[in-house]
Amino acid sequence: MANNKEELLKQLADAVVDMDEEKAVELAQIIVAEGIDAYEAIEKGLSAGMEVAGRLFEEEEYFIPELLMCSDAMYAGLGVLKPHLKAKEGAAEEKVKIVIGVIEGDTHDIGKNLVKILLETSGYEIIDLGRDISPQKFIDTAKEQDAKIIAISTLMTTTMDGLAEVIRLLQQQDIREQFKVMIGGAPVSQAFADKIGADSYAVNAATAVRLARQLMESVA
Partner 1 sequence: MSNFTPKERLLKILHKEKTDRPPVICPGGMMNAAIVDVMNRGGHVLPIAHSDDKLMAELAVDVFTNTGFENLGIPFCMTVEPEVLGSAVDYGSMKCEPKITQEVFSSSSAVDFREFAVMLQTGRVNTVMQATYNVARRFPDIPVIGNLTGPVSTAASIVDPMIFLKDLRRNPLAAHKVMEYVSDFLIAYAALMIDNGADVISIADPTATGEILGPRMFCEYPLVYINKVVEAIHSQGIPVIVHICGNINAVKHALPELKADGISTDAMVNLRKLKEEFPKLVTMGNVSTYLLEMATPEKVVNNTRHLLQEGIDIIAPACGLSTTTPLDNIKAMSGTVKEK
- Considering only residues 187 to 216 of the shown chain, the ones binding partner 1 according to CB under 8 A are 187, 189, 191-192, 195, 204
Is 52 one of the binding residues for partner 1 (CB under 8 A)? Answer: no
Out of 15, 115, 118, 160, the only residue in the binding site for partner 1 (CB under 8 A) is 160
Our CB check for partner 1 shows the closer of 92 and 191 to be 191
What's the min distance (Å) between Cβ of 139 and partner 1? 20
175 vs 213: CA distance, rounded Å = 21
The single-letter code of the amino acid at 104 is: E
Our CB check for partner 1 shows the closer of 157 and 218 to be 157
Our CB check for partner 1 shows the closer of 40 and 161 to be 161
Distances in Å between the alpha carbon of 129 and those of 94, 116, 142, 154, 177?
A: 21, 11, 10, 13, 22
Stretch that binds partner 1, among 26-34, 92-100, 151-159, 206-214 (CB under 8 A): 151-159
Our CB check for partner 1 shows the closer of 9 and 205 to be 205
Neighbours of 38 (CB within 10 A): 21
H-run or E-run covering 219: helix 205-219
Is 32 one of the binding residues for partner 1 (CB under 8 A)? Answer: no
- Considering only residues 82 to 141 of the shown chain, the ones binding partner 1 according to CB under 8 A are 105-110, 113, 132
Q: What are phi and psi of 4, to 5 degrees?
A: -60, -40
DSSP annotation of 96: P
The residues with which 99 forms a beta bridge, in sequence order, are 127, 150
Neighbours of 168 (CB within 10 A): 15
Q: Which residues bind partner 1 (CB under 8 A)?
A: 19, 60, 62-66, 68-69, 72, 105-110, 113, 132, 155-161, 186-187, 189, 191-192, 195, 204
